[in-house]
Structure 1
Amino acid sequence: MDIKLKVEDWELRQPFRITGEEWRHSTCITVELQDGDYIGRGEAQGVSYLGETADTIVAQINSVADDVRAGVSREELQTRLPSGGARNAIDCALWDLEAKSSGQTIWTLTGIEPQPVTTVFTIGIEETAEAMAAKAAGAAEYPVLKVKLDNKQPYERLAAIRAARPDARIVVDANQGWTFELLCELLPRCVELEIDMVEQPLPRGQDEQLDGFNSPVTLAADESCQDCSELETAARRYDMINIKLDKTGGLTEALRLARAAREAGCKLMVGNMLGTSLSMAPSFVIAQLCDFVDIDGPLLMKEDRIHGLRYKAGEVAVFDRDLWG
């Protein structure tokens, strides 16, 4: 089996801001595995807050290239690399390759029945509450909004968005930007504003104050739950787990985490790291199991891959097999 790597920058429509970070493009690392006439592809962006970069991901992929050429299986791959972007790209390429070489679809391989899903549309952090409200109003076709907030006027920004979009379901993502005190202050206001969920309010590794905390609004773990190894602790503190394939290191571990989280009584969400439709396709598989879906990465980009996902008013159709799987 042959392995090829590509590192590509995909320009965003406009700067995308979250707590402490800004992106103007998405760096995508693509793995292509060729076995005879069949080529499987996988794409990753990595986990930036854990220090992953394109260079570290490429180095990790190269470190197991000989294993891949020798025909490493998905299960063997779990022991060759840690969770993260490198394993994700290879794991998804292996799934794609198996689907193509066997003449089956990803749905047959996973036993999951595909249906269209509704994705959130993300409102990034802007300088003013008015600017964020204008973005929300401009996204009138999307029934579910995900609002990025930090500790700068979070209530004012959220209230302005709710006023602009009284019809929308709204979830909040603080990206580790709040304190426990600020969370407690904001939760009653979130109830008043009919917010469905608050994602990762506290910093990873500093959320022990959520042990035994009874929140009036669903709390979701993102940065605080990378894979199955962190589920037990996260399930004590959070009501929902946000599964991202770059965190889990691929679809294989993501499916395990989804099953284990459900067994632990958690709700599920699938998220993204601003990838193209090649990243979103395996995430769409996980989306079939989730309460909330966040696979809007391609909507934030100037261009997408051919055979990309089809979005209409927030609904994402079952993707074309020519894309992946």
Structure 2
Amino acid sequence: MPRILRAQHDSFALSRPFRISRGVKTQAEVVTVAIAQDGLVGRGEGVPYPRYGESVESALAAIEGVRGAIEDGADRAALQSLLPPGAARNAVDCALWDLEARLAGRSVAALIGAPEPDTLASALTIGIDTPMAMADAARAVSSAPLLKVKVDATDPDAQLRAVRTAAPDARMIVDPNESWNRALLEAMAPLLVALRIDLLEQPVPAGDDAWLEGFDYPIAICADEAVHVAADLDVIAARYSHVNVKLDKAGGLTAALELADAARARGMGLMTGCMISSSLSIAPALHVARRSDFVDLDGPIWLAKDYPGGVRDDAGMMTPPAPGFWGTP
């Protein structure tokens, strides 16, 4: 039977506003792809991100442009040259992985040759707010093993002190989302050390980070916006110690695994991240997360309602989706 590809825009309301340095989000806008063949259906999800010039409309148009090739049988390897890295390719790539697993009667983990995903520590995010409100949010999840704290350049000192006081034992990632400059980064160093920050994620703009090469800093710095695919490592490996692997940036699980392998080969640390999304985005990311030093996959935790059978979070410990949800026969 021929393949049939469907792509649509889905919207998920958030249970509370999600604030970062670029603004506030109250809805998760995603593109969902389903590819049917021989009575089986593989699904994937992508989250178009304006920071990278993407929109729901542009992603749907890109997918429509490769419909004929996919329905004619193009596989994941062919897809890498049909679409550029980004949310559109991610949605199609993950749908092809899911379909391949169902057609083969084997899980994605078995196809990769890796163990099945298991429960793991995944960061719970504290969004930007007043120091008092951020402390309250951190106190509510203070038993979690890992927190990710969003800040900007307005008052990071007070915000981080408040969060650390409220959650004295958690490991902590700080994410300014490109909002700092060199002067602020240098000024914050003593505080970040004193607060026992484990990782600083993309503090300065990706287009203004060349000076990080050879820069001596007491906290590990992770590339996020500065790295999308394995080829980017030729430039950024000398600037950052870690890379944040996101399937929406890489353009799917296929390219994300390639990026993770290439980063490890260079001796770099790994983080697995996500956009605000449903569990359909998180299920494939777990195959990168299981080998990462830091995991930040709490996107579905912000939704008012996720898919049934999706990932579950218990105080910062994430359990994979139910069997059959994605990537299993």
* 1:169 to partner: Cα distance: 1.0
CA distance in 2, matches of 1:109, 1:180: 44
Residue aligning to 1:175: 177
CA distance in 2, matches of 1:297, 1:22: 14
Secondary structure of 1:295's aligned partner: coil
> Aligned runs of 1:237-248 on 2, under 5 Å?
237-248=239-250
Residue aligning to 1:73: 75
> Aligned runs of 1:28-47 on 2, under 5 Å?
28-47=30-49
In the alignment, is the contact (CA less than 8 A) between 1:16 and 1:124 conserved in 2? Answer: yes
CA distance in 2, matches of 1:6, 1:322: 21
Amino acid at match of 1:254: A
Residue aligning to 2:208: 206
Residue aligning to 1:134: 136
CA distance in 1, matches of 2:173, 2:292: 15
* 1:320 to partner: Cα distance: 2.1
CA distance in 2, matches of 1:243, 1:46: 16
Residue aligning to 1:15: 17
* 1:319 to partner: Cα distance: 2.7
Residue aligning to 2:274: 272
Residue aligning to 1:120: 123
Secondary structure of 1:83's aligned partner: coil
Residue aligning to 2:157: 155
CA distance in 1, matches of 2:8, 2:120: 30
CA distance in 2, matches of 1:266, 1:111: 22
Sequence identity percentage: 41
Amino acid at match of 2:299: G
Partner deviation per Cα, 1:82-114 (whole Å, 9 max, x = no partner)? 000000000000000000011000110111113
Residue aligning to 1:298: 300
Q: Which moved more, 1:51-60 or 1:111-120?
A: 111-120
Residue aligning to 1:49: 51
| TM-score between both structures, scaled by the size of structure 1 | 0.98
> Aligned runs of 1:276-291 on 2, under 5 Å?
276-291=278-293
Partner deviation per Cα, 1:228-269 (whole Å, 9 max, x = no partner)? 121121111001000000000000000000000001111000
* 1:323 to partner: Cα distance: 1.1
Amino acid at match of 1:238: Y
Partner deviation per Cα, 1:9-59 (whole Å, 9 max, x = no partner)? 100111111112210010011000000211000001023201101001000
Aligned CA-pair RMSD: 0.9
Secondary structure of 1:17's aligned partner: strand
Q: 2:224 aligns with which of 216, 222, 225?
A: 222
Residue aligning to 2:61: 59
In the alignment, is the contact (CA less than 8 A) between 2:149 and 2:175 conserved in 1? Answer: yes
Secondary structure of 1:33's aligned partner: strand
In the alignment, is the contact (CA less than 8 A) between 1:46 and 1:247 conserved in 2? Answer: no
CA distance in 2, matches of 1:311, 1:32: 26
CA distance in 1, matches of 2:68, 2:108: 26
Secondary structure of 1:34's aligned partner: strand
Amino acid at match of 2:127: G
Residue aligning to 1:184: 186
- List gaps (5 residues or longer) in structure 1: none
In the alignment, is the contact (CA less than 8 A) between 1:99 and 1:109 conserved in 2? Answer: yes
Secondary structure of 2:97's aligned partner: helix
Residue aligning to 2:168: 166
Amino acid at match of 2:41: I
In the alignment, is the contact (CA less than 8 A) between 2:29 and 2:48 conserved in 1? Answer: no
Amino acid at match of 1:13: S
CA distance in 2, matches of 1:54, 1:3: 17
Amino acid at match of 1:276: S
Q: Which moved more, 1:6-15 or 1:310-319?
A: 310-319
In the alignment, is the contact (CA less than 8 A) between 1:47 and 1:247 conserved in 2? Answer: no
In the alignment, is the contact (CA less than 8 A) between 2:272 and 2:296 conserved in 1? Answer: yes
CA distance in 2, matches of 1:50, 1:247: 9
CA distance in 2, matches of 1:194, 1:182: 18
Partner deviation per Cα, 1:272-321 (whole Å, 9 max, x = no partner)? 11110000000111101100001101111111001111222211123323
Amino acid at match of 2:70: V
